[in-house]
Structure formats: structure tokens, C-alpha cells
């Protein structure tokens, strides 16, 4: 506005540019030291880095953290993890790990696949994987747990379909194939029993416990007596609503982990996703050098131990041995290909 103030701004700019240049020069010198660190220890240490979207205290990222802890304990891996929820930061997180000589970098979610695909060619000595995704490179191979989880929840859907009195179930999810598609599997299982209907509610925010709870209450008021949530922490709200509703005619199926403790009187069974088991094989391959790039490792119920079921002993009167046998039978048919779970349109 005034010439003096313009001059002042000019000076500010000059100072900032100088500061940036000084910083840049200091920075440009730094990588000169890095290659030595890069080349030498690659053979020495087995290092695993994890990039995850949410705090490791929640169910989804907690599973990945448990996975790298197992790699530390059983494979002697040096582990580190970083939470990156901001898409502009994905690539940097991957290249930071890779440039520090990490052997394996795991991105915990399909959303990381673009970044892994872009970064991996620059770091041929590092292996990359993401949990979900379909892109690959020579040293990047994602794992896809969705097909098997759709099958596992199909079996849960068959069981829930037998239990339901109102013949209505509701699922709660977020817009993400890793959360949504497994519930489509549940739908097909539940609706395989004639007359059953399943409705799906998509929540906007995986942190909004309150919205999850309200959604569950609306579904129950609409007649659903089986609820299943795969919606991160908003799913806790669903289970809380089921736990608080007072009468024992509404039940829930747990996902991702064993969720029995969140509604001890109402969770029929949980279908945990054993991510540590699935990622362990990847880590072993990375350690002994047999890692296969250019491929997507798809998991199905044929992969032992990845899709276990945990039945709630408090509800043994409903989830009877016959009921559990029905689940086992369904899984056997899925394994044999007698039943197939369809991808929804």
C-alpha cells in the first residue's frame, strides 16, 4: 500500500530466499553421505517399515502393527512405523524408508498403491507391498485380502441368516472396497436363505462413533436383528448400540479383530482378519530374497489361518455346534468351489 511497506516486504522475501538457499545447500550436501549408508548395510540388517493411515490403537492399523511386531520377534526384523493420512505425503513416506535401506516397506491400505508403484522403481533393493491394490512393479507386489474375506463373511452371513428371526440384517461400512466388499460377501450369504434381506449403510466418517451408533439404532428400529459393521471406529458405535439395546434379540458379527468384549452378550461370533499371518509370508519372502514382484497375492479361505472365526461362548445356546458345523460346511463348499461369491456390479 505504501512504498515503505513494499520495501519491507521485499526484504522479508529476500531473507526467506536466502534462508531457503542456505538450507538447500546444506541439504544438497547431505545425500552425498547417504549412498554409503544405502549400499553397505543392505545385506546386514533386515528392516521393515510400515506406513499406516490411522493410530495403531485402532483395529485396522493395530493389525498391521501386530504384523511387524511378529516380524521383529520371529524374523529378527528392525521395525519402524509412521502414520501418514495425508495423500500428498504418501510417496515421501515410502521413499524415506527405502532411502534408509529398509528391506521391506508395507503400506497398510489400497490408497498407498499409487505411491508404492511410483517410488519402487527408484529403489530396486527394497521390496514394497500394500494391503489392497492391483498395481505392481518388479519389486512391488500388493496383497489382496478381500476375496477371502468376502468368502469368510459369506459363511458368517449363512449362519446369521439362520439365526435371524426378522430375516433382516444391516451392514455398516465406509466407502472403500476393503471395508465395503466383505459386507457384500456377507449379504450374499445372508440372502442365500430365502426371504432374507440385507441393507447397507455407508457412513461418512470412520471416526464418528456417534453416527455409527445412530445408524445402528435406525436399522434396529427398521427391523434388522443382525448387525455387522466394517467401518473402523464408527463400527464401535454400532456395537455399542447393540450392547445397550437391552433385550437379547439383536445380535452382531464382529469384524477385523475379535470384538466379543465390545458387546459380550450380543456378538454371535467374530471373523478376524489375520493380517499378521498374511503379511508374515511376505516378510519371509523379502528376507530370503524369494519376493515375487509383478504379481498380486490374492488370499482366499484356502490360505490357512488368515480367516479364523471366534465364537462367543456366552451365546453357545444360539451358536450351537450344529450352527458351527454349518459354517465349516459352507467354508468347505467355498474351498471346493461349490459356492462362489460374486463381485457386485
- Binders of another protein among residues 7 to 36 (CB under 8 A) are 7-9, 11-13, 15-16, 20, 23-24, 26-28, 30-31, 34
Q: How far is the CB of 175 from another protein (least distance, A)?
A: 5
In whole angstroms, what is the distance from residue 137 CA to residue 98 CA?
Answer: 15
In whole angstroms, what is the distance from residue 18 CA to residue 24 CA?
Answer: 10
Cell 504418501 identifies what position? Answer: 90
> Alpha helices of the chain — where are they, by DSSP H?
3-39, 59-75, 90-99, 113-119, 146-163, 177-190, 209-221, 234-244, 275-288, 321-336
205, containing H or E segment? none
Q: How far is the CB of 222 from another protein (least distance, A)?
A: 5
DSSP state of 296: -
In whole angstroms, what is the distance from residue 226 CA to residue 322 CA?
Answer: 19
Tell which one of 261, 265, 292, 294 touches another protein (CB under 8 A): 261
Q: How far is the CB of 331 from another protein (least distance, A)?
A: 25
Q: Which residues pair with 41 in a beta bridge?
A: none
How many residues interact with another protein (rule CB under 8 A)? 78
146 vs 269, beta carbon nearer another protein = 146
Beta strands 310-311 and 267-272 are antiparallel
Site string for another protein, 93-132 (x = CB under 8 A): x-xx--x----------xx--x------------------
In whole angstroms, what is the distance from residue 115 CA to residue 88 CA?
Answer: 10
Q: How far is the CB of 322 from another protein (least distance, A)?
A: 31
List the interface residues with another protein, window 290-319 (CB under 8 A).
none
CA 179 to chain CA centroid, nearest Å: 8
Q: Per CB under 8 A, does 247 bind another protein?
A: no
C-alpha cell at 143: 496383497
Tell which one of 213, 254, 257, 280 touches another protein (CB under 8 A): 213
Site string for another protein, 150-169 (x = CB under 8 A): --------------------
Tell which one of 80, 193, 318, 326 touches another protein (CB under 8 A): 80
228 to 29, 62, 218, 309: CA distances (angstroms): 55, 20, 14, 14
200 vs 326, beta carbon nearer another protein = 200
The dihedral through the CA atoms of 117, 118, 121, 124 has a sign that is: negative
218 vs 295, beta carbon nearer another protein = 218
In whole angstroms, what is the distance from residue 172 CA to residue 179 CA?
Answer: 9
Tell which one of 211, 275, 319, 323 touches another protein (CB under 8 A): 211
Tell which one of 39, 85, 124, 305 touches another protein (CB under 8 A): 85
Q: Per CB under 8 A, does 86 bind another protein?
A: yes
Question: Helix axis angle, 146-163 relative to 321-336, nearest 10°?
Answer: 140
Q: How far is the CB of 313 from another protein (least distance, A)?
A: 19
Q: Per CB under 8 A, does 38 bind another protein?
A: no
Tell which one of 18, 39, 43, 199 touches another protein (CB under 8 A): 199
99 vs 324, beta carbon nearer another protein = 99
In whole angstroms, what is the distance from residue 173 CA to residue 179 CA?
Answer: 6
Amino acid at each position: 500500500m505504501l512504498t515503505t511497506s513494499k520495501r519491507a516486504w521485499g526484504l522479508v522475501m529476500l531473507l526467506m530466499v536466502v534462508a531457503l538457499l542456505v538450507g538447500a545447500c546444506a541439504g544438497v550436501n547431505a545425500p552425498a553421505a547417504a549412498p554409503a549408508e544405502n549400499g553397505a548395510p543392505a545385506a546386514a540388517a533386515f528392516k521393515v517399515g510400515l506406513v499406516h493411515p490411522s493410530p495403531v490403537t485402532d483395529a485396522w492399523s493395530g493389525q498391521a502393527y501386530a504384523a511387524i511386531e511378529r516380524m521383529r520377534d520371529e524374523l529378527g526384523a528392525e521395525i519402524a512405523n509412521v502414520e501418514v493420512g495425508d495423500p500428498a505425503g504418501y510417496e515421501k513416506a515410502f521413499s524415506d524408508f527405502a532411502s534408509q535401506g529398509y528391506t521391506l516397506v508395507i503400506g497398510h491400505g489400497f490408497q498407498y498403491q499409487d505411491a508404492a508403484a511410483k517410488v519402487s522403481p527408484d529403489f530396486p533393493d527394497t521390496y514394497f507391498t500394500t494391503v489392497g491394490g492391483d498395481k505392481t512393479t518388479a519389486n512391488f507386489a500388493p496383497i489382496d485380502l478381500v476375496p477371502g474375506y468376502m468368502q469368510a463373511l459369506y459363511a458368517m452371513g449363512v449362519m446369521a441368516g439362520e439365526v435371524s428371526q426378522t430375516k433382516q440384517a444391516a451392514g455398516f461400512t465406509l466407502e472403500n472396497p476393503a471395508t465395503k466388499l466383505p459386507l457384500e460377501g456377507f449379504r450374499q450369504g445372508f440372502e442365500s436363505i430365502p426371504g432374507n434381506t440385507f441393507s447397507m449403510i455407508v457412513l461418512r466418517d470412520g471416526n464418528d462413533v456417534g453416527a455409527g451408533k445412530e445408524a445402528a439404532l435406525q436399522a434396529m428400529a427398521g427391523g434388522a436383528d443382525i448387525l455387522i459393521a466394517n467401518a473402523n471406529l464408527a463400527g464401535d458405535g454400532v456395537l455399542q448400540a447393540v450392547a445397550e439395546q437391552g433385550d437379547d434379540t439383536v445380535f452382531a458379527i464382529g469384524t477385523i479383530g475379535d470384538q466379543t468384549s465390545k458387546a459380550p452378550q450380543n456378538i454371535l461370533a467374530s471373523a478376524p482378519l489375520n493380517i499378521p499371518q498374511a503379511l508374515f509370508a511376505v516378510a519371509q519372502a523379502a528376507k530370503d530374497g524369494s519376493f515375487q514382484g509383478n504379481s498380486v497375492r490374492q488370499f482366499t479361505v484356502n490360505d490357512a489361518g488368515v480367516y479364523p472365526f471366534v465364537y462367543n461362548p456366552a451365546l453357545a445356546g444360539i451358536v450351537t455346534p450344529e450352527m458351527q458345523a454349518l459354517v465349516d460346511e459352507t467354508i468347505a463348499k467355498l474351498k471346493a468351489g461349490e459356492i462362489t461369491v460374486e463381485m457386485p456390479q
